[in-house]
Every structure is written in C-alpha cells, then in structure tokens.
C-alpha cells in the first residue's frame, strides 16, 4: 500500500489544495506543505520496507497495475519526496491563485512518482505524459515575460519525443506479448533493436536533455517560477536517465550496444557545450540552466559505458544534480524576488549585505563545480573512470568541460558575491527563514552524499548488477 500511497496522497492533496484555494491564500499553502511532508515520510517508509525485503525489491499490484521500488527507483523516489517539500516552500509567497499553483505542484509530484514506480509500460507512459500537463501550466501561468513561448516550446519538444517513444513501446509490447517492465522473456530481433532503441530512447534523450535536443531547457528554466525550475531540474530531467536504464536498454540491448559510442559522444558534447554556454551567460538563472546540460552530460556518459560502474555513476550524478540544481534555483529565485533582476552585471558585494544568501550561494557553486567532499565530485569522477574504460583517451575531452565548470561557477561567485555593493542594493534584505531552512536541508544532503557516496552506491548496486547481467555485460 505504501507504493500506491506515494501516488494517491499527492493527488488527493492537489484536490484539497485546489478547493482550499477558494477560501484564502494560507490554507492551500499549508495543505501543500503537509502533503509534501507526508510524501517525504512515505518515501522513507517505502525505502525501509524495500531494504527489509530479502531481494531488496518492493512490489505492489492491483487490477493489472504493478508498482516496483528497487535500487534504480529508490534514490529518485527519495529525491522527489525531498524536492517536493523544497518546491512548496519556495512557492510560499505566491499570491496569484495559490490553490491552483500548489495543486499543480502536487499533481506534478504524483506524475513523477508514477514514472519512477511504474512496473509496466502502460503506467510508465501514462505517468510520462501526465508530467507535461502541470509543468506546462506552471510555466504558462506563473512564469515571467516570455512564459507562454517557453511553455509551448517545452510542451512541443517533450510531446514529440514522447510520441516517438510511444511508437517504440507499442512495437516492444507487440513483440514480447507483455507490458511488464524488465528484460523481455521473448527476445526482440537483433535487426529490429537498433531503430527500436532510438525510437524509445529519443523521448528520454529529449527529457535529459542531450545536446542538441536541449534548446527547450534554458527557456523553460528562465521563464518558469522558482518552484517550477526546482521541480524541473531536481526531478523531471532525471526521468530521462532513469528511462534509458529502466526501459530502453533492457528492451533493446543490442541496439544500445550499437548506439553506445554515439551516446558517449553526445554526453561529452553536452558537458563541453553546456559549460561553454554557462560561461557566456549574463543572466544568472540561464547560467544555472546551461549548467544542467553539462551535468546531465555526465549522466549520459555513464550510461553509455554499459557497465555497472557507469550506471552507478549515472545514478549518483542524477541524485547529486537534483540536490545542487534545486539549491541553485532556490537561491536565484529568492534573489529575484527581492531584486526583480537576474542580470549578473547589476550585482556585486552581496556577500556583505546578505551573508546568509552569499554563503549558501558560494557553497552551491562549489558543489556544482565538483569540489571533493561535496556530492558533485564522486558521481562525475566515476562517470569519467567508467568512460575511460569504454572510450579510451577520447574521455580526456571531458577535462575541458570540467575546467570550464570551475571557471563559470567561480566567476559567478566573484561577480555576484564579492566586489563593491551597488547603491541600489544597499537596503536589500537577506534570504527568508523558510528558504534558509530548505537550503540547509539540501546542503546537508549534498555533504552527506559527498562524504559517503556509498550510501547511494550500495542502494543501487543490486539493481545495476542485475541490469548488466541481463545485458551480458561486464562490470
């Protein structure tokens, strides 16, 4: 029942928040927060139940619908539970239709949970498509000046990719005669697998997103409200990497083997391109958006190796990016609410005027550039090690992206936090208490994973080992 509750509770909370929104602004916020906290407790409970099982897999099924929690989905389910709470806190001061806003946030969380818990392809696709609706309305309804253009671009890119993915899923189901997710009992013709892998995988690569299918992401991030950006970067992008490992690779292992060099090249291109574009930005939020393209490139690189080390690195990098990107978007959104600008050139000296915000931003930048001891370091390092084993010295190109990552993060710190304080910010207030608490929780997770990455690696090891064995791969 816990797995079903992870989907039902946020849906019920969304309905209650929508109704409560008709009776004031405070009640829907409280409903959203209590529901998000309950979802976090349910996620932790499900993890405890999974770890207590003999095979570390938690199953639930009813009326032909099956949910699964294992080493691949558990870290992302926990991440979603945490990011959901942060998103609600970040939207606490929303005064425009707060009931609808919080209802959409909770519905989005339910859809993402459905994707991560789905044990059959039909439910997986329903959740995948359901994510588009609340995200589209969050961007279009509460975004900034060009929100409608960004919302439409987000919808078109992801919807077209999803339609192609649906065609691939239909072919897979008709071939294997089953909708249950896993290595098919009836093998798919090796001649079919190359195009089947790309058909299924294209929708997931759009969601990651890989270069050059990434162009919807910066616009969506820049125009989305803070909570929307937090959910988008924190959990929605992870659906792409998860989908590749959960669906695309098991159904078309030979197709994946043929596509692996291309995936590796796309991952490395994303790392370098994302870092270059981030360095070139004058808008602080757009800088963070392009950094996501670079960090998710490490996820694709790890997956492309086809090894247990690479898959584990991808999982670790996804969890880390979820925490770090959520923290950065929370901080940028908090700053924008108080200054009404994101132009880097207008800032400077904020560390002296807003010490709490400045300290948190420096910490987030260090985590983003991969400082040892913080969560950004171990996952990306393991992805490079796995990549070297799979692609040889070509992996040295990633060093360009890593160097640029340090440059654009430290440059942002220097230009925003240090230097002389502009006259217009002489009366600027510091980050709010609620945002500080949310940021502190994210910082705690970043430190824990940075110091003890084996917490994630041990959790994912049984699942990634089974995946590699099913593909006939090595370690």
pLDDT in tens, 256-266: 999 999 999 99
Mean pLDDT of 172-193: 85
**Is pLDDT at 12 greater than 80 in this prediction?**
yes
What pLDDT is recorded for position 472?
A: 66
Distance of CA 455 to the CA centre of its chain: 19
Give the range of the structural domain holding residue 353, as residue numbers without chain letter: 256-475
Q: Is the dihedral of CA 402, 408, 413, 414 positive or negative?
A: positive
Q: Tell me the three-class secondary structure of 362-394, residue by residue.
A: HHHHHHHCCCCCCCHHHHHHHHHHHHHHHHHHH
At residue 25, the pLDDT reads 83
Q: DSSP secondary structure string, 96-145?
A: SSHHHHHHHHHHHHHHHHHHHHB-BHHHHHHHHHHTHHHHHHHHHHH--T
Q: What's the pLDDT tens digit per position in 229-282?
A: 999 999 999 999 999 999 999 999 999 999 999 999 999 999 999 999 999 999
Residue at 217 is within a domain:
no
> Does residue 466 form part of some domain?
yes
**What does the pLDDT read at residue 475?**
44
pLDDT of residue 95: 85
- What is the model's pLDDT at position 474? 43
Average pLDDT over residues 50-58: 88
Residue 436: CB atoms within 10 A of its CB come to 17
The pLDDT assigned to 186 comes to: 77
* Residue 69 included in any domain: no
Instruction: Judge whether 65 lies within some domain.
Output: no
Q: pLDDT at position 190, please?
A: 87
Report the percent of the chain where pLDDT is more than 90. Answer: 79
How does DSSP assign 193-243, residue by residue?
A: HHHHHHHHHHHHHHHTTPTTS-THHHHHHHHS-HHHHHHIIIIITHHHHHH
Of 11-20, 178-187, 458-467, which gets the smallest average pLDDT?
178-187
Q: What is the mean pLDDT of the chain?
A: 92
Contact criterion met (CB below 8 Å) for 239 and 112: yes
Rounded CA separation 5/217 (Å): 31
pLDDT of 125 > 50? The answer is yes
Does the pLDDT value for residue 122 go beyond 60? yes
Please give the tally of structural domains in the chain. Answer: 1
> Would the pLDDT of 441 be above 90?
yes
- Report the Cα–Cα distance between both ends of the chain, in Å, rounded: 35
Q: Which of 174, 175, 139 shows the shortest CA–CA distance to 158?
A: 139
User: Does any domain span residue 66?
Assistant: no
Identify any residues that bridge with 66 across adjacent strands, giving them in sequence order. Answer: 61
Whether omega before 212 lies within 30 degrees of 0, making that bond cis, reads: yes
C-alpha–C-alpha distance, residues 235 and 97, integer Å: 24
Asked whether the predicted pLDDT for residue 357 surpasses 80, the reply is: yes
- Cα diameter, the chain: 69
Residues 301-314, mean pLDDT to the nearest whole number: 94
Q: Say if 261 falls within a structural domain.
A: yes
User: Is 207 among the domain residues?
Assistant: no
pLDDT value, residue 146: 87
- pTM across the whole model: 0.94
- Could you give the percent of the chain with pLDDT greater than 70? 99
Short-list 262, 142, 145, 150, CA closest to 197: 262
In a domain, 334, yes or no: yes
């Amino acid at each position: 029942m816990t797995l079903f509750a992870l989907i039902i509770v946020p849906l019920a909370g969304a309905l209650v928040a929508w109704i409560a929104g008709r009776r004031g602004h405070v009640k829907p916020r409280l409903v959203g927060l209590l529901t998000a906290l309950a979802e976090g407790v349910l996620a932790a409970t499900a993890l405890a139940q999974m770890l207590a099982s003999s095979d570390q897999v938690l199953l639930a099924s009813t009326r032909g619908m099956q949910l699964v929690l294992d080493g691949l989905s558990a870290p992302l389910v926990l991440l979603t539970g945490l990011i959901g709470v942060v998103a609600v806190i970040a939207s606490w001061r929303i005064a425009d239709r707060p009931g609808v806003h919080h209802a959409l946030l909770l519905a989005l969380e339910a859809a993402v949970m459905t994707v991560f818990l789905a044990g059959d392809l039909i439910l997986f696709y329903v959740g995948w498509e359901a994510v588009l609706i609340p995200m589209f309305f969050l961007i279009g309804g509460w975004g900034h000046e060009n929100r409608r253009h960004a919302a439409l671009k987000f919808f078109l890119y992801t919807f077209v990719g999803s339609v192609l993915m649906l065609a691939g899923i239909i072919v897979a189901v008709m071939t294997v005669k089953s909708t249950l997710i896993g290595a098919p009992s009836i093998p798919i013709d090796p001649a079919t697998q190359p195009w089947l892998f790309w058909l299924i995988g294209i929708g997931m690569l759009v969601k990651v997103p890989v270069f050059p299918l990434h162009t919807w992401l910066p616009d969506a991030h820049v125009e989305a409200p803070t909570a929307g950006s937090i959910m988008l970067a924190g959990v929605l992008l992870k659906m792409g990497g998860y989908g590749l490992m959960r669906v695309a690779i098991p159904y078309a292992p030979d197709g994946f083997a043929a596509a692996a060099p291309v995936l590796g090249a796309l991952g490395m291109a994303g790392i370098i391109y994302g870092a270059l574009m981030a360095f070139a930005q004058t808008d602080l939020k757009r800088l963070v958006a392009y950094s996501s393209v670079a960090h998710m490139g490490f996820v694709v690189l790890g997956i492309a190796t086809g090894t247990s080390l690479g898959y584990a690195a991808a999982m670790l990098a996804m969890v880390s990016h979820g925490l770090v990107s959520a923290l950065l978007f929370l901080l940028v959104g908090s700053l924008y609410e108080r200054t009404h600008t994101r132009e880097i050139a207008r800032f400077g000296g904020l560390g002296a005027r807003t010490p709490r915000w400045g300290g948190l931003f420096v910490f987030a930048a260090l985590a983003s550039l991969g400082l040892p001891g913080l969560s950004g370091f171990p996952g990306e390092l393991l992805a490079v090690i796995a990549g070297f084993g799979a692609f040889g010295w070509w992996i040295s190109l990633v060093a360009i992206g890593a160097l640029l990552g340090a440059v654009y993060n430290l440059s942002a710190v220097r230009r925003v936090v240090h230097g002389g304080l502009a006259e217009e910010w002489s009366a600027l207030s510091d980050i709010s208490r609620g945002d500080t608490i949310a940021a502190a929780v994210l910082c705690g997770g970043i430190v824990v994973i940075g110091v003890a990455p084996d917490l994630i690696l041990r959790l994912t090891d049984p699942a990634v080992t089974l995946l590699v064995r099913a593909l006939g791969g090595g370690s």
